[in-house]
Amino acid sequence: MPERAVFKARKGLNEKIIQQISQHKQEPQWMREFRLQAYALFQKKPMPRWGADLSAIDFSDIYYYLKPTRQSEKRWEDVPSEIKTTFDRLGIPQAERKYLAGVGAQYESEVVYHSLQKHLEKKGVIFVDTDTGLRKYSKIFKKYFGTVVPPGDNKFAALNSAVWSGGSFLYVPQGVHVDLPLQAYFRINAEKMGQFERTLIIAEEGSSVHYVEGCTASTYSSGSLHSAVVEIIVKRGAHVRYTTIQNWAKNVYNLVTKRAVAYQDAVMEWVDGNLGSFKTMKYPSVYLMEPGARAEILSLAFAADGQHQDAGGKVIHVAPHTSSRIISKSISKGTGRTSYRGLLKVHRGATDVKSRVVCDALMFGKYARSDTYPTIKIDELQTQIEHEASVSKIRDEQLFYLTSRGVTEDEARGLIVNGFIEPIVKELPMEYAVELNRLIEMEMEGSVG
């Protein structure tokens, strides 16, 4: 497919390119300064020396900005046919007809297609791409942007803050319940294209929303970098669930910072599935700021040959009477490697905290690898913490049991793997669950134990 970029910044990064991006987007002065400050931090911050090996990333060999069409399209008819073809292949329109409430779809770094059902608009729900959010809703935007994940948080958060483009801006007013999952499908396919989308979600008091983000990427030859930032504010009594299934091409570095703050009696849930990419580092986190807040993190990772999925979750109990649960399931096969990396922190004074962490790993073959790095920091005695970890290989006895029933060995493995991830899959919207099961079956095909 030919690249359809209207504007494309030069490869590599410097202050001038950042100025250019900001200028091209016609951003206010404060955002330009925010970007430049973040860039300075990015240069100062060291590369993380833990987690996945990132030494092969060449920051000067990446395009940081690409704009495919002049404007965000609102109606489906206005979307260029070439882009529609891509969506067709991904099965979006069908999915939309059945389930979608609104679609923000990202094509080469910019949201080009965006539709939002009328009744959401009437309720005052704002669901737009982040650039539009900055332009049209600057007051709310500026109040929250960069407050959950400050640019100085880590090197990749700084990079994203400097060059971000696209992503979703979602605002749910007080007491509003969005009853259908809001979905954003996006895809990158320009070679060496970096994706730096930025998502900001604000759920006002007593509101609820389920945001679903699914990514598929076509395969291309040279390395690509995906470094997103997601910030979520869950106010008193609100409920946010954020679901991701990512299946980047096997040469993509997927380095994402996802964080939420939850206030009194609020519930924040991350459902995070990582299948593709070359290396992933992603630990969705929740700060439980006020009593009654609850966090739930379901993390799923699948690493095939040459992949390293370094994933997990973090929960920080700042306030008393808060609870959390982290369930991590990982599968590694061939030379694939999965790592569970988690943080559970309980601040002093945060009494009556309940937390449960379960991480299970399943490995295939002699060379697959799985590690667990659970960090637990408890500064308060009155807490109730449970931690369970298990590593298993598919047991020969399970395979024998199934094959003795006439199931083929491949099918038997598929059944066991799908059974293993079932606790997470059952939390996904239907079409994602089906897609995920199919992807995993495809990955498992012909694998020799």
- At closest approach, how far in Å is the CB of 405 from another protein? 5
Query: In this structure, what token pair is assigned to residue 344?
Result: 């559970």
Is residue 438 a contact residue for another protein (CB under 8 A)? no
Q: What's the min distance (Å) between Cβ of 437 and another protein? A: 11
Cα distance between residue 328 and residue 330, in whole Å: 7
366 binds another protein (CB under 8 A): no
Which one of 380, 409, 431, 441 is in contact with another protein (CB under 8 A)?
409
Query: Would you say 384 or 390 has its CB closer to another protein?
Result: 390
Strand ranges inside 140-293, DSSP E: 168-172, 182-187, 198-203, 208-216, 224-226, 229-234, 239-247, 252-262, 267-274, 279-282, 285-288
| 8 A C-beta contact, residue 236 and residue 207 | no
DSSP line for 38-84: HHHHHHHSPPPSSSS--TT--GGG-B--EE-SSS-B-SGGGS-HHHH
Helix (H) or strand (E) holding 409: helix 409-425
3-class DSSP assignment, residue 120: helix
CB of 367 to another protein, least distance (A): 21
With the C-alpha atoms ordered 158, 159, 162, 166, is the resulting torsion angle positive or negative? Answer: negative
* Region of 55-63, 71-79, 84-92, 421-429 interacting with another protein (CB under 8 A): 421-429
Residue numbers 80-109 binding another protein by CB under 8 A:
none
Any idea what DSSP says for residue 10?
P
- The position carrying tokens 């759920």 is 203
- Residue pair 320/348 in contact by the 8 Å Cβ criterion: no
Q: Is 405 in the site for another protein (CB under 8 A)?
A: yes
Binding residue (CB under 8 A) for another protein from 93, 423, 431, 437:
423
Q: How far is the CB of 342 from another protein (least distance, A)?
A: 22
Q: Nearer Cβ to another protein, position 53 or 388?
A: 388
Select from 60-68, 92-100, 404-412, 427-435 the region that touches another protein (CB under 8 A). 404-412
Q: Which residues make beta-bridge pairs with 241? A: 210, 269
Which one, 88 or 422, has the nearer CB to another protein? Answer: 422
- Helix, strand, coil fractions of the chain, as percent rounded to 5: 25, 40, 35
Q: Is 404 in the site for another protein (CB under 8 A)?
A: yes
Residue linked to tokens 């923000």: 104
d(CA 361, CA 389): 8
Among 422, 438, 442, 445, binds another protein (CB under 8 A): 422
In the list 402, 431, 439, 441, the residue contacting another protein (rule: CB under 8 A) is: 402
Report, in Å, the least distance between residue 359 CB and another protein. Answer: 15
Tell me if 16 contacts another protein by CB under 8 A.
no
Determine, following the binding rule CB under 8 A, whether residue 411 of this chain makes contact with another protein. Answer: yes
User: Shortest gap between Cβ of 434 and another protein (angstroms)?
Assistant: 14
From the list 291, 294, 339, 344, the residue with the least C-alpha distance to 312 is: 339
Amino acid at the residue 147: T
Which range binds another protein by CB under 8 A, 161-169, 216-224, 336-344, 412-420?
412-420
For another protein, the closer of residues 52 and 363 by Cβ is: 363
Closest CB 246 distance from another protein, rounded Å: 22
Residues 379-398, interacting with another protein (CB under 8 A): 395-398
Longest Cα–Cα distance of the chain, Å, equals: 69
Place of tokens 């070679």: 191
Residue closer to another protein by CB (options 293, 436) is: 436
Q: Which is nearer to another protein, 409 or 431 (CB)?
A: 409
CA atoms within 13 A on the CB side of 382: 9
Residues contributing to the site for another protein (CB under 8 A): 395-398, 400-409, 411-412, 415-416, 418-423
